[in-house]
Amino acid sequence: MNETLPNPYYHQLDAIADAYTPLLLILALACVARLWWQQRWALACVWRTVASVLWVAFVSYGGMALDKTLNIWPKWQMDYSTHTAVAGGLTILITALLFTARHINLVKGVKSKWEVIAALAVAVTSACYFALMVYQQYHSFADIFTTFVVTGTLQYWGLTTFLPPLSRSAHKRAAL
Protein backbone atom coordinates (compact mmCIF):
# COMPACT_ATOMS: atom_id res chain seq x y z
CA MET A 1 0.00 0.00 0.00
CA ASN A 2 1.44 3.36 -1.03
CA GLU A 3 0.62 5.85 1.71
CA THR A 4 1.09 9.55 1.06
CA LEU A 5 2.69 11.37 3.96
CA PRO A 6 1.80 14.99 4.78
CA ASN A 7 5.39 16.16 4.17
CA PRO A 8 8.66 14.64 2.93
CA TYR A 9 10.36 15.00 6.33
CA TYR A 10 7.55 13.41 8.30
CA HIS A 11 9.63 10.56 9.76
CA GLN A 12 12.55 12.78 10.79
CA LEU A 13 10.20 15.27 12.45
CA ASP A 14 8.36 12.36 14.05
CA ALA A 15 11.62 11.15 15.61
CA ILE A 16 12.30 14.65 16.97
CA ALA A 17 8.80 14.83 18.43
CA ASP A 18 9.19 11.39 20.01
CA ALA A 19 12.47 12.42 21.66
CA TYR A 20 11.27 15.74 23.08
CA THR A 21 9.24 14.59 26.11
CA PRO A 22 11.90 12.12 27.37
CA LEU A 23 14.46 14.91 26.96
CA LEU A 24 12.30 17.20 29.13
CA LEU A 25 12.04 14.48 31.78
CA ILE A 26 15.83 14.03 31.81
CA LEU A 27 16.24 17.81 32.08
CA ALA A 28 13.74 17.98 34.97
CA LEU A 29 15.58 15.24 36.85
CA ALA A 30 18.91 16.96 36.12
CA CYS A 31 17.48 20.19 37.60
CA VAL A 32 16.44 18.27 40.71
CA ALA A 33 19.91 16.72 41.02
CA ARG A 34 21.63 20.06 40.43
CA LEU A 35 19.57 21.86 43.04
CA TRP A 36 19.98 19.03 45.51
CA TRP A 37 23.74 19.18 45.04
CA GLN A 38 24.00 22.98 45.20
CA GLN A 39 21.55 23.60 48.01
CA ARG A 40 22.26 20.49 50.11
CA TRP A 41 18.57 19.89 50.40
CA ALA A 42 17.18 17.78 53.16
CA LEU A 43 15.91 14.43 51.96
CA ALA A 44 12.32 15.58 52.58
CA CYS A 45 12.78 18.40 50.05
CA VAL A 46 14.09 15.96 47.46
CA TRP A 47 11.07 13.70 47.96
CA ARG A 48 8.71 16.68 47.65
CA THR A 49 10.38 17.60 44.38
CA VAL A 50 10.10 14.00 43.13
CA ALA A 51 6.43 14.21 44.16
CA SER A 52 6.18 17.20 41.82
CA VAL A 53 7.37 15.07 38.90
CA LEU A 54 4.85 12.39 39.86
CA TRP A 55 2.13 15.06 40.08
CA VAL A 56 2.84 16.03 36.46
CA ALA A 57 2.42 12.38 35.44
CA PHE A 58 -0.72 11.95 37.56
CA VAL A 59 -2.45 15.01 36.08
CA SER A 60 -1.37 14.17 32.53
CA TYR A 61 -2.33 10.51 32.51
CA GLY A 62 -5.26 10.99 34.89
CA GLY A 63 -6.63 13.54 32.44
CA MET A 64 -6.23 11.01 29.64
CA ALA A 65 -8.08 8.33 31.63
CA LEU A 66 -10.83 10.77 32.58
CA ASP A 67 -11.21 11.83 28.96
CA LYS A 68 -11.40 8.22 27.77
CA THR A 69 -14.02 7.45 30.43
CA LEU A 70 -16.19 10.55 30.04
CA ASN A 71 -15.42 11.50 26.42
CA ILE A 72 -14.89 15.13 27.42
CA TRP A 73 -12.80 16.28 24.44
CA PRO A 74 -14.70 14.24 21.81
CA LYS A 75 -17.93 15.97 22.87
CA TRP A 76 -16.36 19.15 21.49
CA GLN A 77 -14.91 17.37 18.39
CA MET A 78 -11.43 17.59 19.90
CA ASP A 79 -8.78 15.19 21.17
CA TYR A 80 -7.05 15.23 24.57
CA SER A 81 -3.31 15.62 24.00
CA THR A 82 -1.34 13.58 26.52
CA HIS A 83 1.90 14.79 24.92
CA THR A 84 0.83 18.39 25.55
CA ALA A 85 -0.12 17.63 29.15
CA VAL A 86 3.22 15.95 29.92
CA ALA A 87 5.41 18.44 28.02
CA GLY A 88 3.52 21.42 29.44
CA GLY A 89 3.76 20.10 32.98
CA LEU A 90 7.46 19.34 32.67
CA THR A 91 8.02 22.81 31.19
CA ILE A 92 6.28 24.40 34.18
CA LEU A 93 8.29 22.20 36.57
CA ILE A 94 11.65 22.92 34.94
CA THR A 95 10.94 26.65 34.89
CA ALA A 96 10.00 26.55 38.57
CA LEU A 97 13.17 24.61 39.41
CA LEU A 98 15.33 26.98 37.40
CA PHE A 99 13.86 29.97 39.19
CA THR A 100 14.75 28.11 42.39
CA ALA A 101 11.48 28.01 44.34
CA ARG A 102 7.79 28.63 44.26
CA HIS A 103 7.68 31.82 46.34
CA ILE A 104 10.72 33.68 45.07
CA ASN A 105 10.23 36.96 43.25
CA LEU A 106 11.34 36.26 39.68
CA VAL A 107 13.59 39.31 39.62
CA LYS A 108 15.18 39.08 43.07
CA GLY A 109 15.34 35.28 43.13
CA VAL A 110 17.21 34.62 39.91
CA LYS A 111 20.84 33.87 40.60
CA SER A 112 22.17 34.12 37.07
CA LYS A 113 21.18 35.10 33.58
CA TRP A 114 21.77 31.48 32.54
CA GLU A 115 18.78 30.35 34.59
CA VAL A 116 16.62 32.89 32.74
CA ILE A 117 18.05 31.82 29.38
CA ALA A 118 17.53 28.14 30.19
CA ALA A 119 13.93 28.73 31.31
CA LEU A 120 13.20 30.74 28.16
CA ALA A 121 14.83 28.04 26.01
CA VAL A 122 12.62 25.37 27.58
CA ALA A 123 9.51 27.52 27.07
CA VAL A 124 10.40 28.33 23.45
CA THR A 125 11.26 24.73 22.57
CA SER A 126 7.98 23.59 24.14
CA ALA A 127 6.09 26.10 22.00
CA CYS A 128 7.98 24.75 18.97
CA TYR A 129 7.05 21.21 20.03
CA PHE A 130 3.38 22.19 20.19
CA ALA A 131 3.69 23.79 16.73
CA LEU A 132 5.38 20.62 15.45
CA MET A 133 2.46 18.53 16.70
CA VAL A 134 0.08 20.73 14.70
CA TYR A 135 2.37 20.62 11.64
CA GLN A 136 2.64 16.83 11.84
CA GLN A 137 -1.16 16.69 12.22
CA TYR A 138 -1.02 14.84 15.55
CA HIS A 139 -3.39 17.36 17.12
CA SER A 140 -5.15 20.60 16.27
CA PHE A 141 -4.31 23.91 17.90
CA ALA A 142 -7.59 23.63 19.85
CA ASP A 143 -6.60 20.18 21.18
CA ILE A 144 -3.27 21.50 22.41
CA PHE A 145 -4.61 24.77 23.79
CA THR A 146 -7.49 23.24 25.75
CA THR A 147 -5.35 20.42 27.11
CA PHE A 148 -2.66 22.85 28.23
CA VAL A 149 -5.12 25.25 29.88
CA VAL A 150 -6.84 22.48 31.86
CA THR A 151 -3.83 20.38 32.82
CA GLY A 152 -1.43 23.31 33.09
CA THR A 153 -3.66 24.96 35.68
CA LEU A 154 -3.83 21.78 37.76
CA GLN A 155 -0.12 21.14 37.37
CA TYR A 156 0.78 24.68 38.36
CA TRP A 157 -1.41 24.41 41.46
CA GLY A 158 0.18 21.10 42.42
CA LEU A 159 3.71 22.31 41.80
CA THR A 160 3.21 25.42 43.91
CA THR A 161 1.89 23.11 46.62
CA PHE A 162 4.64 20.47 46.47
CA LEU A 163 7.82 22.37 45.59
CA PRO A 164 9.80 23.32 48.68
CA PRO A 165 11.71 26.56 49.14
CA LEU A 166 15.28 25.62 48.32
CA SER A 167 17.08 27.36 51.14
CA ARG A 168 16.42 29.38 54.25
CA SER A 169 17.73 32.52 52.57
CA ALA A 170 15.39 31.93 49.62
CA HIS A 171 12.50 31.48 52.03
CA LYS A 172 13.40 34.76 53.77
CA ARG A 173 13.60 36.57 50.41
CA ALA A 174 10.21 35.18 49.49
CA ALA A 175 8.68 36.75 52.59
CA LEU A 176 9.90 40.21 51.50
Q: Band the pLDDT of 1: cuts 50, 70, 90.
A: very low
In tens, the pLDDT along 71-110 reads 999 999 999 999 999 999 999 988 888 875 443 444 455 5
Three-class SS state of 49: helix
15 CB neighbour count, 10 Å cutoff: 10
Q: Is pLDDT of 166 > 70? A: no
Q: Residue 49, CB half-sphere, CA atoms under 13 Å: how many?
A: 26
In tens, the pLDDT along 76-86 reads 999 999 999 99
